[in-house]
Every structure is written in C-alpha cells, then in structure tokens.
Amino acid sequence: MDYAAITMAGSHLLHRSRSGSGSTTRNNEGLQIRIVGTQLPGRECGAGDNFPGYSNIHVGVQRTNRRDELLDLHPGDAASAEWTLDCSVDGTDVRGPHIQGRPGERFIYLSWGSVDDNGRFTMFRRAKLMLADVPADVLDAAAASGTLVGTLGLTDAKGHPLCARVKPPMIRWSSTE
C-alpha cells in the first residue's frame, strides 16, 4: 500500500532531561515538517453516499487561520505531492505558519477542493494530520535521528480524498533509526 510521509527534521529538536526520569523536553528550535503524499484519489471523484462528486480535484496545505491560502496546490491525479513547512518547537508546542490548533492539540490541514477554469480553488473537505498523536517513544527516537516520519494513504476506503481527523492507525508514526 502506498502512503504519504510526514517528516519533521530539526537539530536538537529534543533532549533528555538531566533528572534521570527519561522524560523529554524540547528546546525552542527551528524545524521543518516535510509532507510527501502518494496514493492520491484522482482528479475526478464521482458522487456517492454523502459525497456530491467533484472534478479537477487538488490538494494543498492550509495556512493558519487563512482557509483560502494554500501552500503548493497539487492535482489529485499526481503521482505524488510534496510540501515543506518551516516550524519551531517551544516546550511541548509546535508552531508555524501552517500549524493549526491550540497547544497540545496541534495539527496540519490538507485541504481538498476543485479548481475552476479561472484557477480559483473551492474547498470541499479537509484532513487533519494530528501532531499530538505522535507516541512519546517515537518522538524520543526521532530526536536521536533528527527525523520524525508519519505515513498515511490520501485516498479513503470509498476512493475519495481522505478527510476528517487522521490519527493512528490511519497514520503510522516512526523515526528513521
């Protein structure tokens, strides 16, 4: 099965506390989140249960609090789609221009929509990639390797663009170690 990959990379993203408790803390460091999408649903999706059908489907990453501002729009029939997001980590909080939600509930929106003949994007659904669902042990291993990878398919069981909250087991979090 093909998947999309979400990669967080940053030097000194995490470090072990000196308390000996094995707990992890994060420094205020810059990092990049790289999203590589595969298994896209296609440019045309016919109507189905609670889905009216759409054509000329595209996907992009939504900017925080700017529903109509998308990073790197890709057609739904592309072999793959890739985005790189600049972020920072402060304590347990990940922030950046494309990171949504409150501290402890952060996520990334993948916005799906139709593009008309004038190039205007009209959103019809979104997928929420939940950063809060990364297991602590995976995050620790990612700190050692410098990379955190999440993999997910971008097409749902009905052949439509993936939507709603995306959490395990729909997304697999791992490190590169």
More confident residue, 153 or 14: 153
> What integer pLDDT is reported at residue 86 of this predicted model?
78
User: Residue 118 pairs with which residues in a beta bridge?
Assistant: none
Write out pLDDT tens, residues 64-104. 999 989 999 999 999 988 887 777 766 557 788 999 999 88
Instruction: Look up the pTM and report it.
Output: 0.79
Q: Closest by alpha carbon to 171, among 138, 143, 141, 144?
A: 138
Residue 161 and residue 165: Cα distance in Å, rounded? 13
User: How much is the mean pLDDT over the chain?
Assistant: 77
Encoding tokens for residue 138? 């995976």
